[in-house]
């Protein structure tokens, strides 16, 4: 990331470069000029990558429709590790996106063995947290959404077991329900374009979730009737699974078309216009007309105890409804970038980059960039002890959680309607 964009650079940003090269994820930085407002998670180098985000950025800029979607697996209670994605979704909704949340109860039941009752309870807690953070839009539980299940079945016609093995390392022991939960996730990502109108759709995910995005893009592509390609001096429209007469309908609708066996070439009509017309015809003929889904990719906040943040390591994170005293204890015990003695700390200063307490502030607690810069500066200059810094941070966490809980309680009845 360039210095100007990312004054609080984290060492994690280095590793992401390899991921970009390997998987074709693009940096988000070149697109930020399109955005009317740069969100903190981009400014601070937390969201670093994107796939096909330009249609989303221009939709935001031009006030055109787009969807923002994510899913949560209700195998446990929502915690600190879920906060970033929730905020990304809420930000995109505020920028004009149509919001959609999937509660992946089928996945939790299939992959983690969570009982349906627990799925229900945890799922509602995720929704309460989302509403409390300002989410508006549609929500559903996978197990109760028949249109989603139909879409998953349709998507399943385009995915075979060798693809699942290649992408997810599925083995002969993998249960069929696990495979079904994968295809249900594909359906989740395409669902906003089926329940509503086709439009660019952004899925904010962690860097490790890219396989789902690529699979879904492949499926969306395979379910399209037509392939539209910009060939410079003309636009080519090819049929893939289109019904008889579909290609003629395209040629008929676009002046300047020349029809060939299996494709139509169009001159003098801009590529986006051809896309729109073709999509309309596809929809009229009973097709999906999908836009390939887009994604943003974020880096991960380390666990408070160092290492990975995970609900299976209780000290690495805290739940939104965990008792304040327990949360405070975790923050006070968190791994810092402090020196071994106070003397050294005063002399050399602390190291904010590997410090989980600093990361907590950078990710979530310090909305004001100036205030975050101050925390960083005081740390580096050795002007504050880690004890005092942790105490300040624990106070911020406490205030944040008290407010969040109050809001969650206030919206609980809406969450319970899903």
**CA dihedral sign of residues 321, 325, 326, 328:** positive
How many residues bind ligand SF4 (CB under 6 A)? The answer is: 14
Distance CA 333, CA 73 (A): 28
Q: Where are the beta strands (DSSP E) in 307-373?
A: none
The interface partner of residue 185, options being ligand TRP, ligand SF4, none and the CB cut-off 5 to 8 Å by kind, is ligand TRP
Residues 288-327 that bind ligand TRP (CB under 6 A): none
CA 234-260-293 angle, 5° bins: 55
Question: Counting contacts by CB under 6 A, is residue 337 touching ligand SF4?
Answer: yes
Please check whether residue 391 is in contact with residue 108, taking contact to mean a CB–CB distance below 8 angstroms: no
Nearer to ligand SF4, 188 or 359 (CB): 359
Compute φ and ψ for 71, nearest 5 degrees.
-130, 150
Please check whether residue 364 is in contact with residue 397, taking contact to mean a CB–CB distance below 8 angstroms: no
Distance of closest approach, residue 388 Cβ to ligand TRP, in angstroms = 36
Q: Is 248 helix (H, G, I), strand (E, B) or coil?
A: helix
Task: Pick the stretch among 69-77, 130-138, 227-235, 300-308 that binds ligand TRP (CB under 6 A).
Answer: 69-77
The interface partner of residue 71, options being ligand SF4, ligand TRP, none and the CB cut-off 5 to 8 Å by kind, is ligand TRP
Please check whether residue 258 is in contact with residue 265, taking contact to mean a CB–CB distance below 8 angstroms: yes
Please state at what angle helix 210-223 crosses helix 176-190, rounded to 10 degrees.
70
Question: Counting contacts by CB under 6 A, is residue 239 touching ligand TRP?
Answer: no
Task: Pick the stretch among 68-76, 159-167, 359-367, 369-377 that binds ligand TRP (CB under 6 A).
Answer: 68-76
Question: Counting contacts by CB under 6 A, is residue 44 touching ligand SF4?
Answer: no
Distance CA 120, CA 127 (A): 11
Nearer to ligand SF4, 309 or 355 (CB): 355
Distance of closest approach, residue 97 Cβ to ligand SF4, in angstroms = 34
Residues 360-379 that bind ligand SF4 (CB under 6 A): 379
Please check whether residue 188 is in contact with residue 142, taking contact to mean a CB–CB distance below 8 angstroms: yes
> Binding residue for ligand SF4 (CB under 6 A) from 72, 131, 135, 358?
358
The residues binding ligand TRP (CB under 6 A) are: 70-73, 102, 104, 107, 185, 188-189, 203, 205
- Contact residues for ligand SF4 (CB under 6 A)? 336-338, 350-352, 355, 357-358, 379, 384, 386, 389-390
């Amino acid at each position: 990331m360039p210095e100007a964009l990312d004054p609080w650079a984290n060492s994690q940003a280095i590793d992401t470069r390899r991921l970009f090269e390997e998987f074709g994820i693009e940096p988000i930085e070149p697109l930020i000029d399109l955005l009317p407002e740069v969100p903190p998670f981009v400014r601070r180098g937390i969201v670093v990558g994107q796939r096909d985000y330009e249609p989303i950025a221009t939709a935001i800029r031009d006030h055109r429709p787009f969807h923002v979607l994510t899913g949560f697996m209700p195998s446990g209670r929502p915690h600190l590790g879920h906060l970033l994605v929730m905020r990304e979704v809420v930000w995109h909704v505020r920028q004009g996106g149509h919001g959609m949340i999937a509660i992946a109860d089928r996945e939790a039941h299939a992959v983690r063995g969570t009982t349906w009752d627990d799925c229900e309870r945890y799922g509602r807690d995720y929704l309460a947290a989302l509403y409390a953070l300002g989410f508006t839009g549609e929500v559903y539980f996978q197990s109760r959404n028949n249109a989603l299940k139909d879409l998953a079945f349709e998507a399943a016609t385009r995915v075979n077991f060798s693809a699942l093995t290649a992408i997810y390392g599925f083995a002969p022991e993998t249960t069929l329900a696990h495979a079904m939960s994968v295809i249900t996730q594909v359906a989740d990502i395409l669902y906003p374009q089926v329940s509503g109108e086709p439009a660019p759709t952004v899925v904010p995910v962690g860097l490790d979730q890219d396989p789902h995005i690529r699979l879904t893009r492949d499926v969306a592509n395979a379910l399209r009737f037509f392939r539209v390609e910009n060939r410079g001096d003309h636009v080519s429209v090819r049929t893939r699974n289109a019904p008889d007469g579909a290609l003629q309908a395209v040629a008929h609708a676009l002046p300047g078309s020349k029809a060939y066996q299996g494709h139509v070439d169009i001159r003098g009509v801009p590529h986006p216009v051809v896309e729109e017309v073709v999509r309309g015809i596809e929809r009229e003929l009973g097709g999906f007309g999908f836009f390939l889904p887009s994604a943003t990719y974020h880096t991960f906040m380390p666990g408070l105890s160092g290492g990975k943040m995970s609900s299976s390591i209780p000290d690495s994170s805290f739940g939104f409804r965990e008792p304040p005293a327990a949360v405070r204890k975790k923050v006070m015990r968190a791994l810092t970038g402090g020196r071994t003695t106070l003397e050294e700390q005063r002399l050399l200063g602390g190291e904010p980059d590997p410090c989980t307490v600093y990361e907590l502030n950078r990710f979530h607690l310090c909305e004001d960039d100036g205030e975050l810069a101050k925390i960083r500066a005081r740390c580096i200059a050795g002007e504050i002890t880690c004890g005092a810094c942790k105490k300040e941070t624990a106070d911020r966490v406490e205030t944040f959680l008290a407010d969040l809980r109050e809001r969650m309680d206030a919206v609980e009845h809406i969450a319970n309607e899903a």
